[in-house]
Amino acid sequence: MAERLQTLGAVEAALWQQLLLCVDDKAHPWRTPVLATIDGERADARTVVLREVDPRQRELLIYTDERAGKVHQLLRSPHGTLVMWSQALGWQLRCRVRLAIEMSGLSASSRWATIRLSPAAQDYLSPLPPGTTVATSATAAAPPPPPHDPVARDYFAVIEAAIDAIDWLDLHPDGHRRAIFDARGARWVQP
């Protein structure tokens, strides 16, 4: 078993390293965290894919359809939490985030320029908004773009999750540990 990290600085560096690793490693469980948001008086949550990680800006990026329920929610209340767990690491992260949506700016258009050429483009081209009631279980494929309009209407959007605080929990047979990294600094807390 790997030696346990002893300092808050080492823990923080290691968790950011794992966040960076997970975006390129489809087998890394942190690549598919749960994003919790506020839906009026209720909580909501769903699995998403972490697409990009920027440790300097302390920002995580997620792709979505601009018409998705989560987008309506974050426009009304920008507070969210991203939760991930890795059995291999024994680590849970709870990232408290401020959520913003980019639909038409450079952040979205530059990424869409690449994605629109890939099979994943289908995820952002459906004429039907996510959550629309449909008659059958068959997925309605997006119609091919008209020949005179090479750029079909897309609904691709980027969710920017700016991290305010990270709550790290280390489950370990020798004793669980927990640390918070936020604007107050880094500190150990009782698990």
Question: Least separation, in Å, of the C-beta of 37 and ligand FMN?
Answer: 7
Residues 6+ apart with CB under 8 A from 145: 151, 152
Report the alpha-carbon distance of residue 105 to residue 86 in Å, rounded: 34
Q: Tokens representing 145?
A: 């773009």
- Give whichever of 69 and 90 is closer to ligand FMN, judged by the CB atom: 69
Task: Name the residue number minimizing CB distance to ligand FMN.
Answer: 69
Residues 6+ apart with CB under 8 A from 29: 22, 84, 85, 86, 87, 88
Question: Least separation, in Å, of the C-beta of 12 and ligand FMN?
Answer: 25
Question: Least separation, in Å, of the C-beta of 154 and ligand FMN?
Answer: 14
- Give whichever of 42 and 148 is closer to ligand FMN, judged by the CB atom: 42
Question: Least separation, in Å, of the C-beta of 9 and ligand FMN?
Answer: 31
Return residues touching ligand FMN (CB under 6 A). Answer: 32, 44, 46-49, 62-64, 68-70, 130-131
- Give whichever of 11 and 84 is closer to ligand FMN, judged by the CB atom: 84
Residues 6+ apart with CB under 8 A from 105: none
Report the alpha-carbon distance of residue 178 to residue 159 in Å, rounded: 28
